[in-house]
Amino acid sequence: MNIQQESISQTEVERDTTDMLIGNSFVGFLMTVFAFSGLVFFFGNDTPSTFTLKLQVWAAMVCVSLIRLVDALYWRINLSGKPYNPRPALIRFSAGLYITGSIWALYAVLFYSSMATVELAATMIVLAAMAGGAGTVLSPNKHLVSFYCTALLVPMSLCAITDNSGKFFILGILGIVFWFGIFISAFRYHRFFVSTLHLKAKNNSLMEQMKIERIETEKVNKLLIASNEKLDASNANLEAEVERRTADLYRLSNKDPLTNLLNRNGFLKHLNNLIDTTRALENTLALLFIDLDGFKQVNDSLGHKVGDVVLVEIAARLRNYTEENHLGRWGGDEFVAVIPYANVDTAKAVAHAMRSGVTIPIIAHDNQVTLDATIGIAMFPAHGDCAVDLIQQADLTMYDQKRKHRGSIGVFSETLHEEIKREQRLCERLRSAIDNREFTVFYQPIIDVASNSLSSVEALLRWNCDGEVISPALFIPLAERSGLMPEIGAWVLNRALIDLSHWQFKSGLAMSINVSVAQLLDDSFFKTLDSALKSTQISPERLYLEITESVFATDTELVNKRVNELVSRDVKISIDDFGTGYSSLNRLQSMPFNFIKIDRSFIQNSSEESDTIIRATLLMAKEFGCKTIAEGIETEQQKLHLSQLGTDYLQGFYFAKPMSANDLISWYNENYS
């Protein structure tokens, strides 16, 4: 009997596994065809022979996908929901998956060398996305998920790593790391899935056994009343076992195993029930999204074991401020809490109490850990009508608070929502701004005080997006956060030097160009710089690179190395916005530079304190053997005052506003011809 039950349980597990794999495959077929078609037809820089070969591989992929779709439809129509032998269906599905993965791998290897940078990056993103999805969808079968994720990520990553140019080495390493991460996650999901199915199968087996026992009990009761108590006891034990198994299933699907809080699935169910009750009572509730500040550093420096201890302790502390099952772990170091019958003031008070609880030092494996928390709050029904909307609004609020000031608390508003949506839209548009020719470089003159003549011009980037001029103060930080500054900075550098090479101005006119920290530390920066100087035939001495003081907040040793490489090329270095950032005399002393730009805030403020700072800067520049540039000159009085103080160069609206290259030529001819 036990052997038969085990056989039935195993068959049920295999059937559930097959149902899960095939039932979730329809979107995968569609995504495979669309993703593969996008890679083949979106990029138009292939040679005819390469494109023909791509078409052949694409046709093979489409054929395989159609065959797999037909097989999946056959399964859905004829087998789904019915008892059947899962082995043939699983074999057909596996064969199709192996062929699909092999075609992906073949595509990556065959066409790697012919891919342009954008196509290669797009291909890696598509393969990573497909592998990430497969890591979850295929997790019921570890052999399939292992092969498919490996086929998608490893060949392309190995091609990038072994590429002789070395341009995509880091991309290849990231691909291998991502592949390894997917393996870990997929195998964890597999263990969870198999454990759940076995529990389900055992539970069903126990239920069937209980039914049989009850039937037998009814028969025996008519003949043997004396044995009734024993049979009742047996039934009670079986029911207890069923309840225990059911509780195990609930715990596995709704509880976080580390903190024993509700997991994402369990919290959403509970929150939806609370929202229904609150709506019926015409009341309000608050949703708090809590993100720990500094937890990543704990994991990175002290290890995940210490991190787990910290998370358990934080969960225990947060429980003190919520009712039972009103707190959940959303993932990683993020928690969510719901406060029923709360208004904004109540929610803020609870959030401040939670943050105070988090900031108390934690002792974990003889390590003292101190964290903080950033909390976003969303209210029902004012900010959302369902659980997902409330969590999303609170998450957006938390993200905005963390960006502005870590360790703070914020309440969602429509203004914030519109700002974030606008930033997201601008980020998307930034990615194609160069290709769409939306960028323009304007130039502002810098005047030599001694000769009252044009000494250099500063290149300033302008962005016109759908007729709207976007302020650099908005789009430059967006570009830095989205990793686009190296590409945008390279475009500005090339554009400015090309314009400089075309101007028929005074000999030796210099070009001043801002360089961000991300651009300076990018591995391709010097290659771009050398290429631009060589192609335009501009002498390096005529190029002034402006570096803000924020570079001092990063890796000082690496920054010094990069700046010294610039100096070795005879490129001039200018410290921009001096006096407003992170500089110190010790750091300035260790870094070679040629110019100090006095920030406009000191020029506009005509107080004695500002003059004292300006005089100190001029004295410091003299001691360091460099020149000074005062920016923000708008009046004759400011010009005379800064000249008398001893500034070497002046820049501002008094002389000229930033202008296009053509307008600069006209301005020069009017003033210096």
Q: 466-503: per-residue pLDDT in tens? A: 888 998 988 888 888 888 999 999 999 999 999 999 99
Helix axis angle for 25-41 and 117-137, nearest 10°, is 170
Partners of 647 in the β-ladder: none
What pLDDT is attached to residue 617?
86
Give me the long-range contacts of 155-163 (CB less than 8 A, separation at least 24): 155/105, 155/108, 155/109, 156/108, 156/109, 156/112, 156/123, 156/124, 156/127, 159/108, 159/109, 159/112, 159/113, 160/112, 160/120, 160/124, 163/112
The identity of residue 426, as a single letter, is: L
- Neighbour count for residue 170 (Cβ, 10 Å): 12
What residue ranges do the domains of the chain occupy? 2-182, 198-254, 264-412, 442-460+483-672
Cβ atoms of 573 and 539 within 8 Å: the answer is no
Cβ atoms of 24 and 137 within 8 Å: the answer is yes
Cβ atoms of 664 and 458 within 8 Å: the answer is no
What pLDDT is attached to residue 126?
85
Strand 439-448 relative to strand 649-651, pairing: antiparallel
In sequence order, what are the residues at sequence separation of 6 or more whose Cβ sits closer than 8 angstroms to the Cβ of residue 222? none
- Neighbour count for residue 489 (Cβ, 10 Å): 23
What is the per-residue pLDDT across 217-239, written as a single tens digit (0 to 9) for each? 778 767 777 766 776 666 666 66
Cβ atoms of 396 and 320 within 8 Å: the answer is no
Q: What is the CA radius of gyration of the chain?
A: 33
What pLDDT is attached to residue 599?
85
Q: Which residues of the chain have pLDDT under 70?
A: 1-11, 13, 44, 80-81, 197-198, 200-201, 204-205, 221, 227-228, 231-252, 549-555, 577, 579-590, 673
- Neighbour count for residue 224 (Cβ, 10 Å): 12
Cβ atoms of 349 and 323 within 8 Å: the answer is no
DSSP class of 659: B
Residue 283, token pair as written in the block: 């009341």
Strand 468-470 relative to strand 510-515, pairing: unpaired
Q: What are phi and psi of 507, to 5 degrees?
A: -65, 140
* Integer Cα distance of 327 and 335 in angstroms: 7
DSSP class of 451: T
Domains 264-412 and 442-460+483-672 share a fold: no
* Integer Cα distance of 148 and 156 in angstroms: 13
* Integer Cα distance of 186 and 200 in angstroms: 21
- Neighbour count for residue 623 (Cβ, 10 Å): 10
Cβ atoms of 67 and 116 within 8 Å: the answer is no
The topology under which CATH files domain 264-412 is: Alpha-Beta Plaits (3.30.70)
> pTM of the entire structure?
0.51
- Alpha-helical regions (H) of 607-660: 608-624, 636-645
DSSP class of 444: E
In sequence order, what are the residues at sequence separation of 6 or more whose Cβ sits closer than 8 angstroms to the Cβ of residue 626? 593, 594, 595, 596
Q: Which of 155, 164, 79, 76 is nearest to 123 (CA)?
A: 155
Partners of 439 in the β-ladder: 463
Buried b / exposed e over 305-336, threshold 16 CB at 10 Å, is: ebbebbbbbbbeebbebbeebbbbbbeebbbb
* Integer Cα distance of 193 and 497 in angstroms: 59
Cα dist. 397→231, 400, 643 in Å?
A: 60, 5, 48
The identity of residue 527, as a single letter, is: K
By percentage, how much of the chain surpasses pLDDT 90?
A: 40
What pLDDT is attached to residue 2?
46
Pick the CATH number of 442-460+483-672 from 3.20.20.150, 1.20.140.10, 3.30.590.10, 3.20.20.450: 3.20.20.450
- Alpha-helical regions (H) of 163-294: 169-223, 228-254, 264-280
Helix axis angle for 169-223 and 2-23, nearest 10°, is 140
What pLDDT is attached to residue 288?
97
